[in-house]
Structure 1
Amino acid sequence: MYKLPYFTTDNQEEILDFMHNNTFVTLVGFDGAFPVATQIPVKTVIDGDSIKLIGHIMTKTDHFNAFQKNKNVLAIFTGAHAYISASVYENPKSASTWNYKTVQAKGIIRLLNSEETYQVIKDLTDKYENPESSPAAFNKMGEDYIQKHLKAITGFEISVTNIDHVFKMSQNHSSANKENIVKNLQQSDDVLAKEVAKEMKDNL
């Protein structure tokens, strides 16, 4: 990671909030020859001093095979990011850059049995589909349908052993530069650029 002191925070709650709010991660494993990766939603669960990531994957995949061989995995959480043009700096004859936020969580993956996987799918569906009102709610699906599709899915639980992060939002620049960056990003048509502008503005 491109990790410098002014691009990090000592506030662990801020890091955990970022993980809770950016649930669609890139999960990376190693099959013995090459890294393998898949993009999936996960749930971050805090239990005392331990942190776990819960999710599910398709069974007949390269990453499933890799996770069976090697339990060491890396989950990459990514937030809003944007190109930062030096043209708006007090001294524009400088290097342009990119602002972004990311958290990398290393851990040990455990593949779940069918009963545990069932609960993972139910919890995930109930998070995004209101059990009372949504026609796509988990409790609206037939049990035969659920069991049929469950055969192709395996849940997992990752016990996190290390968390690292970079929250790069031009902290190393002057107040004037940061204000100019925010104004420039606010004028962009890029939704992510506008989000970076909002985050920077909140910290001005």
Structure 2
Amino acid sequence: MYKAPYFTTENQEEILEFMNQNTFVTLVGFDGEFPVATQVPVKTVVAGDVIKLIGHIMTKTDHCKAFEQNPNVLAIFTGAHAYISASVYENPRSASTWNYKTVQAKGIMRLLNSEETYQVIKELTDKYEAPDSSPAAFNKMDEAYIQKHLKAITGFEIVVSNINHVFKLSQNHSAANKESIVRNLEQSDDVLAQEVAREMKGDLRLNKKD
């Protein structure tokens, strides 16, 4: 991945918070001939010095078969991103760029048994469907219905061995350029561009306090 010192942070809590906020990852493996990928929600669990990613995939798919053959996987967490036009710079005769935030976590996957998978599905459903009030809550589903669909699902646990990240928000530009970029992004109809503007404004406020 493209890395430069000014696009990274030493704050590990900031990286974990990003992972917790952007849970729908691209999960990449290798089937022996080509890379395979799927998009799934994951839960990031921290236990001491160990970071785990918990989720589930459909059984008998190309990616499930690949993960069975090769447990080495890559999970890509992606946040808001936006095109940054050099037209708003102090010197517009410069290269335009793209701002974005991403985390890449490498690790070893273990496919779970049916009892473990059941618990994964319950915890994920409970996270998004309030157990006490949602009509779609896990505890309101018929057990026979759950067991029937559980046969088509395989839970997984990834023990993370390496994390890399890029939080690229024009940190290498002057304050004037950053403020101009933020104003331009705020005028966009693109919600992702507006989110990048909010991220950059947060960084600008922190830098001014420093």
Give the TM-score band, short-chain normalised: over 0.9
What is the total number of aligned residue pairs between the two structures? 204
2:199 maps to amino acid: E
Question: TM-score of the superposition, structure 1-length normalised?
Answer: 1.00
**Structure 2: 5+ residue stretches without partners:** 205-210
Deviations 1:54-84 (A, max 9, x none): 0000002000000000010000000000000
- The TM-score with structure 2 as length reference comes to 0.97
Equivalences for residues 113-132 of structure 1 within 5 A:
113-132=113-132
Please give the alpha-carbon distance, in whole angstroms, between the structure 1 residues aligned to 2:33 and 2:145.
37
1:134 matched residue in structure 2: 134
After TM superposition, list the pairs within 5 Å mapping 1:61-72 onto structure 2. 61-72=61-72
Q: Deviations over 1:102-155 (max 9, x none)?
A: 000000000000000000000000000011110000011000000000000000
Report the counterpart of residue 172 of structure 1 in structure 2: 172
Aligned residue for 1:183, secondary structure, equals helix
Whole-Å separation in 2 of the counterparts to 1:44 and 1:99: 25
Identical-pair percentage: 83
Residue type matched to 2:18 in 1?
A: F
Q: Would you identify which runs of 4 or more consecutive aligned residues in structure 1 move more than 2 Å?
A: none
Deviation sequence 1:143-169 (CA, Å, 0-9, x none): 000000000000000000000000000
The whole-number CA distance in structure 2 between the counterparts of 1:6 and 1:203 is: 12
Q: Which position in structure 2 is the counterpart of 1:154?
A: 154
* Superposition RMSD in Å: 0.3
Could you tell me which runs of 5 or more consecutive residues in structure 1 were left unpaired when the two chains were aligned.
none
Task: Return the offset for 1:34.
Answer: 0.2
* Structure 1: distance between partners of 2:134 and 2:167: 37
Question: Within 2, Cα distance between the matches of 1:21 and 1:109?
Answer: 22
